[in-house]
């Protein structure tokens, strides 16, 4: 044990080691570990961050699960009303994990100005509407107040406002056609009190959010009738399970649809990020491991005489192999330290300074989102350390093939 301790110190911290031929290769190995951990951290943080951002934006406009009539068509417009007098509203007591239910209605209309017009969906909401997500999206003004019966206040997207030249406080009319083309259309006066920008352009260019009572009046519905219910759950990972439970605990005339089914292509697209992350992690660990294997092989060859002396003094192969594994552990930990320091620095800079911007028409976000969690950082570091050490077991096997007599004479 005294010999092992002495040699371990020589291998790890001696001046001879630091100025040896292997020093540049050792530095390359440390750099490979550091670069690998940086790339893996960035891949996970941005991949998961992008998934969550896109998911939350779609959920903001639709809820996790929608409850509607079976005979509703596939358009974005509410056609057949549902009574709010349901056993599951406003509290869904038969299913756990539901934190909010709200009644909404939608109707397609045309925003008309003196010089232009634009088609949009008027989403009617009431006092039960959860503005949690739109508080984050708000870029100017305030959220609408629907306490008055015929409130004309609306929330419009920055995309539509820019296209039509609207500003905060602008009044306009929205026109809704009737089923009978010979009859005059319905008009709703709107006053902009807030402008939002979710960064999800496909949805921003569709929705204007206003008072549900306008849709009830146009469709000649009663005050307790809505287009559909939007359900929000606590745990997104259980969305399919909760969708089935909600369906089983609602009347047979009502249907349920999860947001992942409604926007299937979007959620399938963001699932691909997982495969990309796994691929990057695999490649980076492989590259780092190969670099460390190369460094360890050079170190073993450089210390051939020392290995021969230790064997001549009675050390067994495994005890000598452990010395090199201890050294490799130190080098890997050194690489992990610098990798974590630089990686976290880059992620925090992006999180708070927004250095990298993305095209919202392609990625549905305006800047690269970052998700930072101590859990995945620890798992990444521990996994990298263990996998690299496992890969280094093979080159240390070379120690068993070194003959003491030949090693002592080795130059």
Interval 61-107: pLDDT, tens: 989 999 988 765 555 777 788 999 888 888 888 889 899 999 999 99
Long-range contacts of 25-31 (CB under 8 A, 24+ apart): 25/294, 25/295, 25/298, 26/295, 26/299, 26/331, 28/291, 28/295, 29/288, 29/291, 29/292, 29/294, 29/295, 29/331, 29/335, 30/331, 30/334, 30/335, 30/338, 31/335
What is d(CA 109, CA 175) in angstroms, rounded to the nearest whole number? 5
What is d(CA 54, CA 265) in angstroms, rounded to the nearest whole number? 12
Who has greater pLDDT, 200 or 207? 207
Q: What token pair was written down for 388?
A: 């690299």
Is the pLDDT confidence value at 200 over 60? Answer: yes
What is d(CA 150, CA 362) in angstroms, rounded to the nearest whole number? 38
Is the pLDDT confidence value at 19 over 50? Answer: no
pTM of the model: 0.78
Between 228-242, 259-273, 303-317, the lowest mean confidence (pLDDT) is in 303-317
Q: Is the dihedral of CA 165, 167, 172, 177 positive or negative?
A: positive
Is the pLDDT confidence value at 30 over 70? Answer: yes
Say what the pLDDT of residue 155 is: 94
Angle at 205 between CA 165 and CA 128, to 5 degrees: 105
Share of the chain above pLDDT 70, in %: 88
What is d(CA 82, CA 226) in angstroms, rounded to the nearest whole number? 5
Q: What token pair was written down for 49?
A: 């961050």
> What's the Rg (C-alpha) of the chain?
32
| In the chain, domain spans | 2-57+267-409, 71-252
Is the pLDDT confidence value at 208 over 90? Answer: yes
What is d(CA 283, CA 270) in angstroms, rounded to the nearest whole number? 21
What is d(CA 327, CA 336) in angstroms, rounded to the nearest whole number? 14
Q: Tell me the pairing of strands 153-157 and 186-196.
A: parallel
Say what the pLDDT of residue 12 is: 45
The pLDDT-based confidence of 258 (bands split at 50, 70, 90) is: very high
Say what the pLDDT of residue 408 is: 57
- Let me know: does 32 contact 291? Beta carbons within 8 Å: yes
- Let me know: does 235 contact 255? Beta carbons within 8 Å: no
The pLDDT-based confidence of 253 (bands split at 50, 70, 90) is: confident
Per-residue pLDDT tens over the stretch 92-151: 888 898 999 999 999 999 998 878 888 899 999 988 898 988 888 899 999 998 877 778
Who has greater pLDDT, 346 or 295? 346
Question: Could you tell me which of 197, 227, 277 has the C-alpha nearest to residue 79?
Answer: 227
- Let me know: does 106 contact 227? Beta carbons within 8 Å: yes
Say what the pLDDT of residue 15 is: 43
Is the pLDDT confidence value at 194 over 90? Answer: yes
Say what the pLDDT of residue 70 is: 77
SS3 content of the chain, % helix, strand, coil (to 5): 55, 20, 25
What is d(CA 194, CA 293) in angstroms, rounded to the nearest whole number? 60
The SS3 assignment for 66 reads strand
- Beta-carbon contacts of 127 under 8 Å, excluding residues fewer than 6 positions away, are 146, 147
The rounded mean pLDDT for the chain is 83
DSSP at 238: G
Is the pLDDT confidence value at 245 over 60? Answer: yes
The SS3 assignment for 121 reads strand
Q: Tell me the pairing of strands 138-141 and 186-196.
A: antiparallel
Per-residue pLDDT tens over the stretch 167-181: 998 988 899 887 766
- Beta-carbon contacts of 98 under 8 Å, excluding residues fewer than 6 positions away, are 92, 231, 232, 233, 234, 242, 246
The SS3 assignment for 144 reads coil
Per-residue 3-state assignment (H helix, E strand, C coil) for 164-230: HCCCCCCEEEEEECCCCCCCCCEEEEEEEEEEECCCCHHHHCCEEEEEHHHHHHHHCCCCCEECEEE
Is the pLDDT confidence value at 411 over 80? Answer: no
- Beta-carbon contacts of 320 under 8 Å, excluding residues fewer than 6 positions away, are 307, 310, 311, 399
- Beta-carbon contacts of 389 under 8 Å, excluding residues fewer than 6 positions away, are 325, 328, 329, 332
Between the alpha carbon of residue 130 and those of residues 31, 103, 104, 363, the distances in Å are 49, 10, 11, 26
- Beta-carbon contacts of 6 under 8 Å, excluding residues fewer than 6 positions away, are none
Per-residue pLDDT tens over the stretch 359-404: 777 777 778 889 998 988 999 999 888 888 888 888 777 766 666 6
- Let me know: does 237 contact 258? Beta carbons within 8 Å: no
């Amino acid at each position: 044990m005294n010999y092992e301790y002495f040699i371990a110190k020589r291998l790890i911290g001696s001046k001879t080691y630091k100025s040896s031929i292997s020093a540049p290769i050792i530095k390359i190995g440390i750099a490979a570990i550091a670069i690998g951990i940086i790339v893996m951290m960035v891949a996970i943080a941005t991949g998961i961050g992008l998934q969550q951002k896109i998911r939350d934006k779609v959920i903001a406009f639709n809820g996790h699960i929608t409850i509607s009539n079976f005979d509703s068509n596939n358009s974005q417009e509410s056609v057949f009303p549902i009574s709010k007098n349901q056993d599951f509203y406003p509290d869904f007591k038969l299913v756990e994990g539901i934190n909010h239910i709200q009644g909404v209605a939608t109707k397609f209309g045309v925003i008309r100005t003196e010089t232009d017009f634009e088609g949009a969906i008027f989403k009617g909401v009431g006092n039960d509407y959860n503005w949690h997500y739109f508080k984050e999206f708000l870029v100017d003004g305030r959220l609408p107040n629907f306490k008055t019966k015929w409130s004309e206040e609306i929330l419009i997207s920055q995309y539509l406002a820019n296209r039509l030249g609207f500003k905060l406080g602008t009044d306009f009319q929205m026109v809704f056609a009737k089923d009978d083309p010979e009859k005059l259309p319905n008009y709703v006066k709107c006053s902009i009190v807030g402008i939002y920008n979710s960064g999800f352009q496909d949805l921003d260019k569709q929705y204007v959010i206003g008072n549900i009572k306008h849709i009830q009046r146009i469709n000649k519905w009663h005050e307790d009738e809505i287009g559909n219910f939007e359900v929000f759950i606590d745990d997104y990972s259980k969305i399919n399970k909760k969708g089935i439970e909600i369906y089983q605990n609602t009347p047979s005339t009502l249907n349920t649809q999860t947001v992942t089914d409604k926007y299937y292509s979007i959620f399938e697209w963001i699932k691909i990020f997982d495969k990309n992350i796994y691929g990057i992690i695999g490649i980076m660990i492989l590259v780092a491991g190969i670099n460390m294997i190369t460094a360890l092989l050079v170190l073993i060859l450089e210390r051939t005489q020392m290995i021969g002396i230790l064997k001549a003094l009675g050390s067994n192969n495994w005890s000598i192999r452990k010395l090199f594994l201890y050294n490799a552990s130190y080098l890997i930990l050194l690489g992990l330290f610098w990798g974590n320091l630089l990686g976290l620095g880059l992620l925090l800079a992006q999180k708070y300074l927004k250095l990298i911007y993305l095209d919202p028409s392609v990625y549905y976000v305006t800047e690269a989102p970052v998700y930072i969690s101590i859990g995945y950082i620890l798992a990444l570091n521990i996994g990298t350390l263990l996998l690299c050490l496992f890969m280094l077991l093979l080159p240390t096997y070379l120690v068993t093939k070194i003959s003491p007599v030949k090693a002592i004479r080795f130059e």
